[in-house]
Chain A
């Protein structure tokens, strides 16, 4: 509860919606859920975005729900699957790549300022006198005072959240309210300008903020709108965007991940996010899991288990897998065999948590794996034969 006289915090509730939650719903239910949440003034970050058909359904449902006094529509910035050139296989099988990450929010709160295949920048318009629900997670960007002027992005005023003055540009500086700290990775860029404001829906102010990824320069809007593809390659050229999807652009440095943390939240990752079964190769992995894995055992020579570093495996001699350094796969040298393709991730090679382990210690002090049939490397009495034998015993 807020104390009397203390200015209320303002902000926007942002819900991160997992792929699993979205996939559990049928398409109509998914659209219904999104529209209902947006009508409550929430911004949703969908781990698995909407397909073009679903987006069209969303537009249709939005149009039927529009009420000029409280809900004027939706804004749906996100990575679009349409930018990707389909492969030959996809063209033949008509398999459309799964949609990538998407942000969906009310049109009066969310505005897209820049969108290309690699980055999407949006404005968040913070609500005035907004009291977040006690049981809901929210991200408060900035306090809002009575601001009557619009906000446009500009390269003139920019900086990280830490370096920004507490009062945003355009405020009068007399705002003594406790300013919620912006996320460390966010930077606030922009300046206010008269005559660019959005008509205020009831009870909303005009305070807008640009939240961008760290260390990214704010785009010059004039350049974006008028530049030719050669001048602004990231903004329009879909083919080059596609080609560059798998490569991080040099001019967009990523934050350094903490030790043991695999952070690959690029287009490829977001594409994989909606790709059926979970792919462990390049998904973000919680730090705690990685830390556990650092000391985990991985198979080494002669079927023994040896400690791995960072949970990675590299091809060793005789087709075995040995731990690599710093999470990198080492190239196979002459005389060495590559591991079976498509199954080299640490997750797939680690013993499952509940699996019965063989406590017998080897010569090196580490436990050895279950004995294998020297001929075909398959443990005896598996599957059908085991069940058959049990039946015979009965």
Chain B
């Protein structure tokens, strides 16, 4: 019943052009979700959303930044951006200890919090009205997690915009992402350098409103 109502609500809003909506930033760990959220928030609010780190699962709870007004092509849409923890099927604290130099206790604690964060991220899917799926364009797009998230968004009938991040890196291949997910709109950006963010804003306003 709730699903029916939200679907009707979305349809109604689509007809009359939405002005305000909640968008979740989803993706696998270390894809650059928080960097993107920070970039968007800094560009329009001048505030950061969360801390960024090379260590995976830096974001272990969903962070929401409200009332981000984005203007593009004469249109104006207000977004509530929700930065979510990276979704994955496994968390091994040894990775934090051996590859990133955390001590054993820190690694275990981080792993424990990360598991809770993933559960939170999945729960947030019920509340968001659109999704920015951030994928690392230097990685293989055909991971099961990517497909699971995307399949879930499709099943929920949520509008999704794929952000091919890290295109500032030489090994990036946004074309691979485009080819892999032809059904969806893919916008290549570098959240770190801000390259092509204008294009993302234009697409967001056009796509989500």
Contact = CB atoms under 8 A, between A and B. Distances in A.
B58 to A, nearest CB: 17
A52 B91 contact: no
Contact of A51 (B94, B151, B173): B151
B201 to A, nearest CB: 27
Most chain-B CB neighbours within 10 Å: which of A63, A75, A81, A236?
Answer: A63
A37 interface: no
Nearest to A56: B152
Contacts of B118: 59-60, 63
A75 B89 contact: yes
A75 B90 contact: yes
A204 to B, nearest CB: 12
A123 to B, nearest CB: 14
Interface string B180-201: 1111000000000000000000
A64 B115 contact: yes
B186 to A, nearest CB: 12
Interface in A12-53: 51-53
B95 interface: yes
Nearest to B87: A59
Interface stretch (A65-73, A245-253, A343-351): A65-73
Most chain-A CB neighbours within 10 Å: which of B90, B92, B108, B180?
Answer: B90
B90 to A, nearest CB: 3
B143 to A, nearest CB: 8
Chain B interface mostly? helix
Nearest to A106: B90
Given A53-B152, A224-B140, A229-B175, A199 B89 contact: no
A115 interface: yes
A80 B147 contact: yes
A112 interface: yes
B171 A63 contact: no
Given A59-B89, A72-B90, A199-B94, A238 B179 contact: yes
A239 B182 contact: yes
B144 A112 contact: yes
Interface string B114-126: 0110110010010
A30 to B, nearest CB: 16
A55 interface: yes
Interface residues of A, number: 43
Contact of A229 (B91, B152, B179): B179
A63 B119 CA distance: 7
B142 interface: yes
Contacts of B94: 199
Contacts of B90: 62, 66, 72-75, 107
A217 interface: no
Given A52-B148, A53-B155, A63-B118, A85 B98 contact: no
A78 interface: yes
B182 A115 contact: no
Contact of A80 (B91, B115, B151, B179): B151
Contacts of B98: 199
B150 A82 contact: yes
A175 interface: no
B78 interface: no
Interface in B100-119: 108, 111-112, 115-116, 118-119
B13 to A, nearest CB: 20
A91 to B, nearest CB: 11
A228 interface: yes
Contacts of B176: 228-229, 236
Contacts of B141: 236
Nearest to A80: B147
B92 A82 contact: no
A283 B163 CA distance: 40
A53 B154 CA distance: 10
Contacts of A81: 151
10 nearest interchain CB pairs?
A73-B90, A52-B151, A199-B94, A107-B90, A229-B179, A63-B115, A82-B151, A55-B148, A72-B92, A80-B147
27 contacts: A51-B155, A52-B151, A52-B152, A55-B152, A56-B122, A56-B149, A56-B152, A59-B89, A59-B148, A62-B89, A62-B90, A64-B115, A66-B91, A68-B111, A74-B89, A74-B90, A77-B144, A78-B144, A81-B151, A82-B154, A83-B147, A85-B183, A96-B155, A112-B143, A226-B171, A229-B176, A238-B181
Interface of A: 51-53, 55-56, 58-60, 62-64, 66, 68, 72-78, 80-83, 85, 96, 107-108, 112, 115-116, 198-199, 224-226, 228-229, 235-239
Given A66-B90, A82-B150, 11 more contacts: A56-B125, A59-B88, A66-B115, A73-B91, A76-B148, A77-B144, A107-B92, A199-B98, A229-B176, A236-B142, A238-B181
